[in-house]
Chain A
Amino acid sequence: MHWDTVINLLVSAGLEISVLVIVSIGLAVIFGMMGIINLAHGEFLMLGAYVTLSATRAGLNLWLAMLFAALVVGLFGVVIERLLIHRLYGRLADSMLATWGLSLILAQGVSYVFGPSTQGIATPLGNVRIGAYSISAYSFVLIGAAILMLLLVLWVFKRTRYGTMARAATQLPAMATAVGVNTKRINMWTFGLGAGLAGLGGALLAPLAGVTPSMGQAYIARAFMTVIVGGTGVLTGTSAASGLLGGIQYLVSYLSNPFLGQGALLILAIVILRLMPTGLSGYWGRRL
C-alpha cells in the first residue's frame, strides 16, 4: 500500500467515526445525564439542518449559521423540557412515547412549513490532493468538529459549576438535592445542552447530504446504536463506541460493500452488548 492510500483510508475512516460522534453526542448527554431516551433526537438533528439552511438563505455566513442552529435548537430543547419532558421524569416508557410523538409532529410540521422535497447546502471548501487521491476539505472540518464537541462536553462537565452539579444530580440525586442543587433547573439545562449538540450535529451534516424532513431517520438508528453500545458515560462511551462501530463499518464497507458494512456494525453492537450489557463505559466503570 502506498502512503497516499493509507492516508486516504485513515481520513475516510476518521470521517465515518466523526459522523457517528456528531450524530450521537447530543443523545448521549441526554441519556447519560438524565436517563431519558429521546426518540425525537433524529428530528432535533433535522431541525438543526433546517435552521442552518434558512439562515444561510437569509444571507448569514455558513459557519455562523451552524452556531446559530445549535443555539436555536438548544433553546427549543429547553422549551420542550419545560412543556413536556419534566412531567415525565422516572417514567421511561411514557417519556419514550412522548418523544416519539414529538418526533412525528416535528417531521410533519417541518414538512408542512418547508415542503417535503429535498433541499441542500453545497459542500464548502473544495478538496485537497493527497498523492493520487483527492479528499473533500470539509471532511477535515467534520473530524475537527467531532473532537471539539467532545472537548466541549468534557469542559462543561468538568470545569463549570453547572457541570459539577449536573454530575452530582446524576450520581446521587437525593444528596444533591439535600445540599441545595436545584435538580429541576439542572435537568432543564442538560436537555437544552443535548438538544443544542444535536442541532449543531444536524447543521454540520447539512452540507454533506440532502436536507429533508425525514433525514433524521437516516442517522437515528446508528446514533442509538452508538449510545447504547457506549453506555451512560457520555464522553468515554460515545468516543469508544463511535471509534469501534464507525471503524468497523468503514473497514468492512471498503473491503466489501456498504451493505455488509452496515451488517458488521450491527453484529459488533450485538456482540458487545452480549458481553458488556451496560455498554463500554459501564464495563469500564466510567461515569463521564
Chain B
Amino acid sequence: MTSDLLITNVRLLDPAGGLDATGALLVREGRIADLGASLGKPDGTAILDGGGAVLCPGLVDMRASLGEPGAEYRETIATAAEAAAAGGITTVAALPDNQPATDDPALVRLLRARGEETQSLGIVPYGAVTRGCKGEELAELGLLREAGAVAFTDGARAIGSARTMRLALSYARGFGAMIVQHPEEPSLAQGGAATEGELATRLGLPGIPAAAEAMIIARDIRLAALTGGHVHFAHVSTEEALDLIRAAKQAGVQVTCDTAPPYFDLNETAIGDFRSYAKLSPPLRTETDRRAVAAALADGTIDAVASDHQPRDPDDKRLPFAQAAAGGAGLATLLGVTLAQVHNGTITLARAVELLTAAPARLLGLEVGRLARGAPADLCLFHPERAWKVEAGELPGKAQNTPFDGRALEGRVLGTWKAGRRVFG
C-alpha cells in the first residue's frame, strides 16, 4: 500500500508534455493524480518539500544487461534494481543475450515478472531476433511480441548476415516492432580490442576500424528502405555513422538510434596504459567522433541515451587488455554523465531529460516516461548542480566496472519513485 503523497516546491519537467514550470505533483494509488502550479493538500496526504529540485519522469533506460539469467556473478536483477533506483531509472529494457537467450515467450514473461517482484524497476524485455542470438534462424518474433517483448535485438552481437537482417526487418514490420542492431561488421571487428588508429598502434592492440560501424549502418539503412521495416542502431559512436543516419532520416527511412554516455563523455585516450575498465563495445573513439556524438544529441540525430549497462566482474577485467571483457556499468551514472552535456552548453536540461525519458519510452511504445494525470507515478527527483564523484567500488549495485572512475559529476538523484512507492532517497 502506498499512501498519497504531495511533492511540492519542485521544477516540474516533462518533455513529453512540454512542461517546464515550478509547481507540485500529487501521487495517489501509484498514479499521478494531479500536477500544477499550486495544488491543494487533501486530508491524510504526506507532503514532501522538493526544495526547488527537478521532478521529472523516472528514467527509461532502453539498453541494459541485467546479468540474469546466466551471469549472476556479475549482476542480478535485485542488484541492478538497486543501481537503477539510485540512478533515477524506473524502467529498463533488458537485452536478450543472456544464458539462455530471451528467445522464448516464457522467458519474456519471467523477466517481466521478475521486474514486478523488485517493486522498484519495471523490466521490459527485448526478444532475440535469432534463436540463441546466434544470427541464424529467426526466433518466434510474433509469440515473443505477444508475451511482451518490446522490440528485437541480438544484444551485443551484430546481425551480420544481410539476408537475416532483411528477413527480420521485413517480418517484424508485420508486428510493428523495431529491430535493434549492434552496428559493427563482425568480420572486421573480430579479435579487435580498440579503435584502429594511432593509439591502438602505439599500444600494440588489435584494432577495429571505425568504418566497421558505418558499413553495417549503411547496409541496414538500405535494408530498412527495402523492407519498410524500422531499424534502430544502438550505441552509435562515430561521426560517419551519424552522418548516414541523419541523411536517412531526412530521406524518410524508418531509422532511429541511441548512444550511451561513454561515447559523448570519453574518448579513446581513456584506455591509455591498458585500462581495461574503459574497454567497451563498440570501443571508445577519437575526440572528433566524441564531439560528433555530442552534437548529434543536440540536433536530434540521436533519439535517446541509454546506459548500455554491461556488468562485469573484476576477474573479467583484471586481464591483459585484449583478453579482458568489454563493457561498462552505467546505471548509476546515466543521468549525471548526460547532465554534463547540459552544463557544458551542448544541450538544454529539457532535451537531456527527453533523451532519458519520453524519447526511449516512445521508441519502445511504453506509457511511462511522462508526467501526466493518470500516468504511472514513476518519478525522479534530482538536483542538477549537486556534485558527486564516481568511485568504482562505491557504486550502488553489484557491478563496479565503471569507465568513469574518478569522474566528478554535477547532478545527483535525490529520490526515485516506482508506481508511487519511494525506492531511493
Q: Do A and B come from one complex?
A: no
Interface set of A (CB-CB < 8 Å, partner B): none
